[in-house]
Structure 1
Amino acid sequence: MSTQTYEKFEPLHNAQLVLGYLTSMVDEKEDNLPYWLVLPHKKPAEAAHCRVDDAELVGSWYEAIDAVRKMLKTEEGAEVQLSFYRHLMKSWGEHGLRFHEPYPWTHTNHISFHEMGYILPALNRMVENHPEDLEAEKRASGLVRGMRSLVIERKVRTFWSGDYEEKEPIYEFPNDVYLREGGFDLSRHTGRGEQAIRNAIVLHSLVRRYELAGDEVALDLAVGIANHLLGPSRYFNYKLEFFGHVHSAGWVASGLVRLGRITGTRRYITAGKGIYDYIRSLSSSFGWVPEYAQWHPQHEEHCETCCIKDMIECANELILAGYEEYWEDMTLFARNQLVENQIKVSSYVVTDNTLPDGEGVTYREIDQRMIGGFTGGSLVNSISLSKFRSIAGCCVGMAPVALEIVWNRAVEFSGGRVLVNIPVDKETEEATVSMNYPDTGYISVTPKQQCDVAVRVYDWMGQNLSMKINGVACISSKEGNLLVFHNVAAGAMVELEHPLETAVVKETVRGEEYTVSWRGCDVVDIAPRGEHLRLYQRDLRIPKTYPSADDVHFTGAANFGPTQQAQTKQ
């Protein structure tokens, strides 16, 4: 093959980068407590603690580090993962809820139900990885039962025309905040609004809890929350459109689809699909997803990496529900905007290693430690470092979950068949898969045992497909979008090749027109180009350009001090 001209999609490289972030952007003095707040635009750059570090982050970063360590099959990061486990096993309170430790940078000790949507998935992973872990099982069970005990159950609909018994469970939480000392105080709230959807992100993990442990209380709570969302909350209109937080709605959509699959209830799948399709209509073809729907003018929106994770996770659920057309979204979103939203250079960062770390603030080697993080707000063509949340701890927790989903589904072995769903370089126990995108349209599959080989084909591959086994032209059978090669011998090489040229397409994203250069499934350039960190500089023949320290200035929310910024994160 020719010398590589364009950057390839290499999920293991992205996983290794984010593992470096997860293991270094932590506070060793506090048993590796994560730093959510990273400020690369300050001079010197710093990272600072805030309340969310010991609220959602110990859950989401446990998931993240577990995901990438499994992808990489490495012991690296094991001690840090154990630290996250220890943090998660502390601070449990009444009703099985997880609060947080009273650090100097925290204020009123409370939980939000939104945060429990990050804690339960981590507990699920613990139980799945180690069924003998009775402490994790106890906490997961207690959290589910505690939340169930706190919901309002709507049993009767009282209307001017009479009283009508509700025939299905309908559950909602009385508030989005629960105080460690005082419980529900209706004079307090997070101020985010949208309580129905923000409180409901636990839906997906409730269904997973039921699958793992046969926990009927988890399933009951999931059904009641879903019914409230799709009924009395009036959060979605008849077209499943909504106003507000895309991350919450997208995560709920994946939970609805999973709930529908597990219970055989079609309306939940239909609703989840409708929500996904609405978010998709606001997104780009390559995975730029807005943080909010109809909240700001389109040209003011940014892309939170958490939202890309939700779309990939929901696409996977829809595929499992029988909608195979969503393979294309999973493929395009993962290999484009998801990995572009990762920080890979830091030459522009001003670091002062002579400054001592203070209480809750660190300056040491921020330029090195921030590599591998994910942005909380990219533009279509760049990551603006002067924007608050240019790097976001929440996104660092979510992106690896999406990477793991894509990695696991890219090449599978089922029913005596090697199945290549997404072009990627990957070796499994059953086969070796190689690809040459975006340079050329080429995939090879070498099984390690005699079996069928199936390769998923996409419209962007075109019609002129060339197929060979050990260099000899062959034919395959067609099963939907799969090309199937039967009874391929162990060690034989199946090759699929097609012409690949650069296609330049105009696309309106974020209310603005862009010129997008595609090579098959990969975006290799976008114009106009942005500032500060330009995205999609994937042509290796053209020198990449990055800002200098003098090019990065404080603007807008970036002027807030650490405490004010921490409170901005809701």
Structure 2
Amino acid sequence: MSKRGLKRREFLSAAATLAGASAVAPPSAGDSAAGVVSVSHPYPIPSRNASYKATVPDTLDLTERARLGLNGLTGTLDWGEIPEFYFRVTLAPPQMGHDSLSHCACGPKYFEAFPMLRAMTGSDLNADVEARYNQYMLSSLGEDGLFYTRITAKRPWDRTSPEDYANIYGQGRMIRAMLAHYFVDRNPEWMRRLEKLVNKLREIAVYKDDYIYFPTSPGYGDIFSYPKSGWKITELHRGPQQTMADLPDHTMGIPMYLGGTLLPLVRYAEAAGDEKALDLAGKLARFLLKPDSAWIPDGYAKGVTPAEHGQFRGHLHAHTMTLRGILAYGVATNDTGIKAFARDGYEFARTMGIGRLGWFAEYTGKHSHETCGLGNMIALGIQLSEAGVGDYWDDVDGYVRNHLVEGQFTDLASLRSLNSSLSAEQEKMLERSVGTFAGWGTPVALSTVLMNCCMANGSQALYYPWASTVRYSNGSVRVNLPLNRASPWLDVDSYLPYEGKVVLHSKQANRVLVRIPSWVDRHALKCDVDGQACMPPFAGNYLVLDAVRENSSITLTFPIREEPERFVLDDYGHKGSQILRTYTYHFTFRGSTAVKVVSDAPGPNLYDGIKPAAVPTYAAYKDREPFRKPSAPMKTVERHSTEARILSW
């Protein structure tokens, strides 16, 4: 198989390659590929000559988090004959298991995350494990183009359908996954497969008035799934036998399973220049924008029509997924009203938790966060800002520096300490779990019961700000976030939160625009270029430096101070209607970074997002006291620089 990408015959024979592979043993410690069938990469690993040594501040580096994420992604795949991901992983005691429905909707999320993390890191960690997974995903594409979940004896964990089925949300995620690979290797076979899948979605959609929807067939896999033999019903609702799809306020079903398909259709239409696909997306958008599809009905708040402002109750991840699609469609068609709807919905969602921290309730009023929802909020903040619909870069910076990275399990010793004893097999499971993301948790305690949709979405959420920190166009570089980043055009060294200092190393930039966070006192801001003091003009929130020379260093310094802030959260439980308890949290921030937390929550903060029984938790924000020191530690690292820009999200 060519390292330049899949040729057509190789692409079509991926299923046969996988079918011929026997069950394999997991890699042994110290050898990431031991015992794994050797398969060439289905996309090129970025060139190693784009890597170099540099001495940099030892502060948040999303590339390092992505390397850990690769361990978590590959580690939570089944290394046996059927390489699906393990949806449910527990860390105390260590266990990994499949469930019946997650692959159909979430399997492609891993498929999309891999090229993102490879682009960030240049790493080939467990690449053969990933290659088997990628081939398995390709083998799941049917002759009609859809991504099918197979009902076979080799998948005994799924007996939810008498035949193969194609989940509608899973189709959207498969579109995004194949687009991600296409943007890395530009192999036209990806686009041929994508066109076939989108055409089949157009064929099976139910058309009514000026909109479309996809029905749900009870007894055939997850909700909103298409049986391979065809729809059994075409009505949206099916009467008294209730599922998530039928809840009166649609807290998850419609906005997740149908709304999650809108963004992929728009991204495909943009990449392929396919007007028919954009028209299909428009019909789906019109359905999703209907007041009774996903939004709070009128009368919820006096003087406000919530359904016209993206306001919702219920599942945050589902509704913000719909908002991402609505925003993408509004930008693609330059529809001002639709863009404003997405902005209003984002700002409403930001009130559902602790916005400055990036902790958002999984369900309205629930004292539990879900990493998937945070990933959507990061994407929305970035794309609203880049579309000129608002300036939410400070939001994004806070989300990333706080609950995104705190939600990643990075310390093997801490994971071991949660267990009184470990077998050799359990020890290996913990090693494989380093780099995973929490499924649930309070602002200060992460559940050790994981749901690995969050593993994939958390990994992708690392890519979004990494890719957006530095943007290049026609000789100009725009620095949107004060995060460490190596790029072909300019490198960013961030000393935050220890010091108010950011250093930019120009490579191929004639003009540099660097956004100054809103918490910075502009009167105290200092700038020098190659040691010469200057004060360039502002354009909005961006400092503008013209006539920048190659290899110039731009140093920005400013005071950074600590700010205490108090947050109060009411807990209504899971879909409850009465307050069970009120929690108070006291955080201290340096810039966007939380450096201290005091909570009135009792005991060890035992929490489980599903089971009523308590489980051990992994403490969040416990190691941040060093961030209060006045100078940043330094380290020498190998930096990786790539031009890869993946536009699937």
Question: Do they fold alike, i.e. is TM over 0.5?
Answer: yes
Pairwise CA distance, 1:428: 1.7
Change (3 A) 1:421 1:152: same
Structure 1 counterpart of 2:140, which letter? S
Could you tell me which of 550, 565, 581 is aligned with 1:490? 550
Q: Distance in 2 between matches of 1:368 and 1:81?
A: 17
Q: Counterparts in 2 of 1:84-483, with a 5 A limit?
A: 84-93=133-142, 96-101=145-150, 102=152, 103-109=155-161, 110-134=165-189, 136-155=190-209, 169-175=210-216, 176-180=224-228, 183-184=231-232, 190-193=243-246, 194=250, 195-198=253-256, 199-231=258-290, 233-236=292-295, 237-284=307-354, 285-293=356-364, 298=365, 300-345=366-411, 346-350=415-419, 352-353=422-423, 363=426, 365-385=428-448, 390-449=449-508, 451-463=510-522, 464-483=524-543
Matched with 1:534 is 619
Cα distance in 2, alignment partners of residues 382 and 450 from structure 1 = 43
Deviation at 1:344, TM superposition (A): 1.7
Which region of structure 1 is more displaced relative to structure 2, 215-224 or 399-408? Answer: 215-224
Letter in 2 for 1:71: M
Contact 1:36-1:52 at 8 Å conserved across structures? no
Counterpart residue number, 1:17? 68
1:58 and 1:87 in contact (8 A); partners too: no
CA pair 182-203 structure 1, distance change in 2 beyond 3 A: closer
* 2:98 is aligned with 1:41: no
Given that 2:71 and 2:434 are in contact with CA atoms closer than 8 Å, whether structure 1 keeps it comes out as yes
The structure-2 alpha-carbon separation of the partners of 1:343 and 1:7, relative to structure 1 and needing over 3 Å to count, comes to farther
Q: Distance in 2 between matches of 1:349 and 1:180?
A: 45
1:223 offset after TM fit, Å? 0.5
SS state at 2:477 partner: strand
SS state of the match for residue 417, structure 2?
coil
Do the aligned partners of residues 264 and 375 (structure 1) sit closer, same or farther apart at CA in structure 2, a change above 3 Å counting?
Answer: same
> Structure 1 residues 412, 119: CA separation in 2 closer, same or farther (over 3 Å shift)?
same
Deviates more, 1:62-71 or 1:507-516: 507-516
1:28-65 per-position Cα deviation (integer Å, ceiling 9, x unaligned): 222533211101223xx210122345323431001111
Shift of 1:474: 1.3
Q: Distance in 1 between matches of 2:459 and 2:396?
A: 14
Q: Which runs of 5+ in 2 are unaligned?
A: 1-56, 217-223, 296-306, 571-581, 606-616, 628-649
- For the aligned residue pairs, the C-alpha RMSD in angstroms reads 2.5
Match of 2:584 in 1: 513
Measure how far apart 1:484 and its partner are: 1.5
Deviation string 1:427-467 (CA, Å, 9 cap, x unpaired) is 22222221111101101112124622222112211231111
The answer (yes or no) to whether the contact 1:503–1:518 under 8 Å persists in 2 is yes
CA distance in 2, matches of 1:71, 1:189: 43
Detail structure 1 runs of 4+ shifted over 4 Å in the superposition: 185-190
Distance 2:587 2:191 in 1: 48
Amino acid aligned to 2:90: L
> What secondary structure, in the 3-state scheme, does the structure 1 residue paired with 2:139 have?
coil
Q: Kindly provide the CA deviation profile for residues 173-232 of structure 1, in whole angstroms up to 9, marking residues without a partner as x.
A: 222233345633558875454343122211111000001112233212211111011126
**Offset at residue 329 of structure 1 (A):** 1.3
For 2:159 and 2:82, locate their aligned partners in 1 and report how far apart those are by CA, in whole Å.
21
8 Å CA contact 2:367, 2:569 repeated in 1: no
Cα distance in 1 for residues equivalent to 2:379 and 2:622: 27
Question: Kindly tell me: are residues 51 and 131 of structure 1, through their superposed partners in 2, closer, same or farther at Cα, counting changes over 3 Å?
Answer: farther
Q: CA–CA distance in 2 between the matches of 1:364 and 1:348?
A: 12
In structure 1, stretches of 5+ residues that fail to align are 1-5, 156-168, 356-362, 543-570
Q: Give how far 1:234 is off.
A: 4.4
Cα distance change on mapping 1:77 and 1:509 into 2, 3 Å: farther
Distance in 1 (CA, whole Å) between partners of 2:147 and 2:201 is 11
Tell me the secondary structure at the aligned position of residue 228 of structure 1.
helix
SS at match of 2:157: coil
Q: Is the 8 A contact 1:114 1:201 kept in 2?
A: yes
- 451-460 vs 220-229, which moves further: 451-460
Q: Is the 8 A contact 2:309 2:341 kept in 1?
A: no
Is the contact between residue 255 and residue 321 of structure 2 (CA under 8 Å) also seen in structure 1? no
Distance 1:22 1:229, change over 3 A: same
The residue aligned with 2:17 is none
**Sequence identity percentage:** 25
- Whether the aligned pair in 1 keeps the contact of 2:117 and 2:459 (CA below 8 Å) is yes
Alpha-carbon distance in 2 for matches of 1:268, 1:445: 37
Q: Deviations over 1:351-382 (max 9, x none)?
A: 64456xxxxxxx46122111111111121111
Distance 2:545 2:493 in 1: 17
> In structure 1, the residue corresponding to 2:391 is in which secondary structure?
helix
Contact 1:373 1:392 (8 Å CA) reproduced: no
Q: Secondary structure at the match of 2:119?
A: helix
Could you tell me how far 1:128 is from its partner in structure 2? 2.9
CA distance 1:221–1:190, shift in 2 (3 Å): farther
Does the CA contact (< 8 Å) of 2:343 and 2:389 recur in 1? no
CA distance in 1, matches of 2:110, 2:499: 36
- Work out the CA distance in 2 between the residues paired with 1:93 and 1:495: 55
Quote how far apart the aligned CAs of 1:347 are: 2.1
Cα separation, 2, equivalents of 1:472 and 1:431? 19
How far apart in 1 are the matches of 2:533 and 2:186? Answer: 49
Q: Given the two structures, how large is their TM-score scaled by the length of structure 1? A: 0.83
Counterpart residue identity of residue 333, structure 1? Y
Q: Secondary structure at the residue paired with 1:446?
A: strand
Give the deviation of 1:301 after TM superposition. 3.0
Write the distance in 2 (CA, Å) between the matches of 1:349 and 1:26.
23
